[in-house]
A = this chain, B = another copy of it.
Amino acid sequence: MSDVRVDGSRFRERFESFNEIGATESGGVNRPALSDENREARDTLVEWFEDAGLSVTVDEMGNIFGRREGANPDLAPVLFGSHVDSQYNGGRFDGIVGVLGALEVVETLNDADETTERPLEVVAWSNEEGVRFQPDMLGSGVFCDVFDREYAYSREDKDGNRFGEELERIGYRGEAPCEPRDLHCYFEVHVEQGPFLEQEELPVAAVEGVFGFSWMNVSFEGQANHAGPTPMDMRHDALVGASDVIQAVRRITATGGVDLVGTVGSLDVWPNAINVIPETVELTVDFRSYDDAAVDAAVEQIEAEIAHVAEREGLDYEFEQIMRVDADPFDADCIETVVDAIEERGHDYTRLVSGAGHDANYLNTICPTSMIFVPSVDGISHRESEFTEWEDVLVGTDVLLGAVRRKADEV
């Protein structure tokens, strides 16, 4: 049975066809959660699931499941998949590889006329990206009881459209309860979104866990005044305070641990006029590491820097940690199952920790979980230029096939 392999040309054809939905001129896709393009992508997916003989269920959060019955239907299923929502003008690989790859695994088993002991379920989670509705990973989050369903329904996009109503509008507010259930394990193939595999010239990685992270909101309030007649020593410039934070984030990462990263991603200035000293600046800080102590130390240090600069510049400040997620090691047995599948196929590989969050993080709280990474060219993701070599997509999907078959025959 170890010679069963995914069909590269069928998969490729579907991948290209799928990515015509919401295709952008610069080679990306624009299919944010619950948009019309996201609906079209979902419709296509459901059609293909049904064509592959899968029994389709849509749950209350719009998560789409396709079930392939096992020899023992009462055994807990092996679940695998990812997401099909995209960033605004995002890439063609993020999420999609993991969902269409899951479908290809099913098709391959169909071609081989192979029935697994356990049922298989493929899944496309709702709103993984979190660009239209925050927080991200909302579909898997409710499924794993991290968020309440009504909380998820109440999330609004920037135009005030609510998640629950938009889900209804596109016809994907299903009947099935969105709640934890008995799963044998969960696998997800995803693009790395980082540079390591490409740097090491490796086609695939077994993912051992996910970085912990802290998200912080910071605001400074100084005094707006005319940029001409106000001497430098009478200023209370909120943007000068913010510039210290940006530089402090970099200083802290330089000494805070080998994998510590820090980012000021969002910054807004008021009144934001060329000739007015900035009165208010709101900014965010993001620290991540696989070492939770390193994240906590960085948070402590940046708060001290903020207090210091606020005193020096005569600014008021607010500092709030709005999210703190611990580092999340995946299941040892699932990781080794992925490694065995890779070795069986003779690929070079490494073990990686993911800097980004994935639906797999939440699944890991309710069942044994691991992930499979394939390379991202130049480490780029969340952009139209995101790219993964097709042969690497096939390697990752073939490893998923191997891992799923191993787990699906455990009784």
Binding site for B on A (CB under 8 A): 88, 131, 192-195, 211, 213, 215, 223-232, 234, 237, 239-240, 242-244, 246-247, 250, 253-254, 261-269, 271-278, 284, 286, 288, 354-357, 379-383
Contacts and interface: CB of A to CB of B under 8 A. Distances in A.
Contacts of A278: 264-265, 267
A25 to B, nearest CB: 18
Nearest to A217: B274
Contact of A266 (B224, B272, B357): B272
Given A229-B379, A246-B239, A267 B272 contact: yes
A307 to B, nearest CB: 18
Contact of A274 (B234, B261, B266): B266
Q: How many copies does the complex hold?
A: 2
Contacts of A234: 195, 379
Contact of A261 (B192, B230, B382): B230
8 contacts: A215-B274, A223-B380, A225-B381, A225-B383, A231-B261, A243-B246, A265-B274, A274-B286
Contacts of A355: 226, 228-230
Given A243-B247, A247-B247, A263-B276, 9 more contacts: A194-B226, A194-B228, A215-B275, A225-B381, A229-B354, A243-B244, A265-B273, A267-B278, A268-B269
A225 B131 CA distance: 14
Contacts of A232: 250, 253-254, 261-262
Contacts of A262: 232
A9 to B, nearest CB: 30
A86 to B, nearest CB: 13
Contact of A276 (B253, B265, B267): B265
A226 B356 contact: yes
B267 A229 contact: no
A228 B261 contact: yes
Contacts of A240: 246-247, 250
Interface centre among A250, A264, A275, A277 (most CB of B within 10 A): A275
Nearest to A195: B234
Contacts of A230: 193-195, 261, 355, 379
B231 A194 contact: yes
Contact of A272 (B193, B268, B271): B268
A228 B354 contact: yes
A405 B235 CA distance: 39
Given A195-B234, A243-B246, A228 B265 contact: no
Nearest to A289: B228
A324 to B, nearest CB: 14
A273 B242 CA distance: 16
Contacts of A237: 263
Closest 9 CB pairs of A and B: A194-B229, A228-B355, A229-B355, A243-B246, A227-B263, A228-B356, A243-B243, A274-B284, A193-B229
Given A263-B275, A269-B267, A288 B228 contact: yes
Contacts of A195: 229-231, 234
A225 B382 contact: yes
A17 B284 CA distance: 45
A271 B244 CA distance: 21
A230 B198 CA distance: 13
Interface centre among A227, A244, A276, A383 (most CB of B within 10 A): A227
A273 B269 contact: no
A254 B250 CA distance: 24
A268 B247 CA distance: 18
Contacts of A266: 269, 272-274
